[in-house]
Amino acid sequence: MIQKDFDGQSLERVLKKTIEAIENSKKQIFEITENSRADKEKLLQKLELLNIETKKVIDEVDHLEEKYRRARMNLAHVSRNFKKFTEEDIQRAYEEANELQVRLYITREREGNLKARRNELQLSLRNIEFMIERAEVLMTQIGVVFDYLSGDLFKVSEVIESAQYRQLYGLKIIQAQEEERKRVAREIHDGPAQSMANVVLRTEIAERFLHHQQMDQAMQELRDLKDMVRQSLADVRKIIFDLRPMALDDLGLFPTLRKYTQELAARENFNLELKLTGRERRLPSMMEVAIFRLIQEALNNVVKHANASNVSVHVDLQDNLIKVMVKDDGVGFSEDRLNRERDHFGLMGMKERVQLLEGKMDIQSEKNKGTTVTFVIQIKEGEEKTNELKK
């Protein structure tokens, strides 16, 4: 449902700002991704140098362990054979073993630090790779959204315009309904209601004549009263027919058109020719109503605006479509006026009805040379069969 405060331009501005924000976010994510790739390269370089250094330290630890093992073996040998070695030899063997032990301890600690740093670099590298992967996925998703919104923004505008058009058309329909109610009320007031008031008055007059034994005058009043009731009945039937022709439900489109065009030609005093071609058959009920209303609206336009002497209605019913052409020799109008008439409910309502029936409508008119209204509507086979089954 369209709200009264619906603002299509504001919605379009919001969409454009959203697209701008998405584009900026896409650029920022791209920059973050590129910076992360650069950091990854730096980490890889550091990790490569660190691996080289770690390997050297590990080799150095292995070398020191071998030297320390030999130094301890030498110290043990000297200690067991202290009679063969001097005190200086024992002191030198002890100092050599002690020095190698300290160097081995320091080198092992250095190896542990290098391995810990290498693990930290590897963890940081995995985190950066994961972040790059997520950023690439996010950038792809944002790119899809951006392309979709920016590529289909004109469709959004069309939807907004369509919504505004539907709102306008809805208001026009309500206006037309109110105008139709006013017309029916006016016809009842000016026709049957006035006649009924006159019937009451003439009945009272006839009653007075009868009361005074004036039989001739009373009989005349009763005859006039009968004519008035007959005319009122005709007016009521006309109003009912205009609202919903009963013959349309009972007999179908074509008999109803024959009756309607005959009565219209007699009432409006112009030459009206109805031509029906094709295999005459029943159509889906709602389609018959819609087509009848379209022809009725076209003929009403002729009556109101054309000032025509000759009017023709040609209905061609084919297997899968119905084609209707309403032509008059009236005043017509120029193409500029035709464009202006599109803003009026008459033609706009007819076109909308044709579109709802998935048909096409064409209006050709030339000033002082008449107007031709043509519309073609497809007949769906399934609907027609369903209608025949119902019969």
User: What is the per-residue pLDDT across 336-359, written as a single tens digit (0 to 9) for each?
Assistant: 655 554 444 566 677 777 887 888
CA atoms of 341 and 298, how far apart (whole Å)? 13
Q: Regarding predicted confidence, which is higher, 380 or 81?
A: 81
Superfamily of domain 8-151: Methyl-accepting chemotaxis protein (1.10.287.950)
Range of lowest pLDDT (24-38, 232-246, 273-287, 315-329): 232-246
What is the topology classification, in CATH, of domain 246-390? Heat Shock Protein 90 (3.30.565)
Radius of gyration of the chain (CA): 50
Q: What confidence score (pLDDT) does residue 157 get?
A: 58
CA atoms of 298 and 239, how far apart (whole Å)? 19
> How many whole angstroms from its chain centre is CA 383?
26
Contact at 8 Å (CB) between 164 and 6?
A: yes
β-bridge partners, 378: 321
Query: Phi/psi zone of residue 307: left (φ > 0), alpha (ψ -120 to 50 degrees), beta?
Result: left
User: What is the per-residue pLDDT across 291-322, written as a single tens digit (0 to 9) for each?
Assistant: 888 898 899 888 888 889 999 999 999 988 99
Range of lowest pLDDT (133-147, 171-185, 367-381): 171-185
- The conformation of residue 320, written as its DSSP 8-state character, comes to S
User: What is the per-residue pLDDT across 206-264, written as a single tens digit (0 to 9) for each?
Assistant: 888 888 888 888 888 888 888 888 888 777 777 766 666 666 778 888 888 998 899 88
Report whether pLDDT(51) > 50.
yes
Residue 272's nearest CA partner among 326, 315, 234 is 326
pLDDT mean across residues, the chain: 79
Report whether pLDDT(386) > 70.
no
Range of lowest pLDDT (16-30, 111-125, 134-148): 134-148
CA atoms of 362 and 346, how far apart (whole Å)? 14
Contact at 8 Å (CB) between 139 and 30?
A: yes
E strand or H helix that includes residue 326: strand 321-328
In the chain, pLDDT over 70 holds for what percent of residues?
A: 77
Tokens of 308: 């025509």
- For 232-284, where are the E strands, in sequence order? 271-278
In the chain, where are the structural domains located?
Answer: 8-151, 246-390
CA atoms of 24 and 2, how far apart (whole Å)? 32
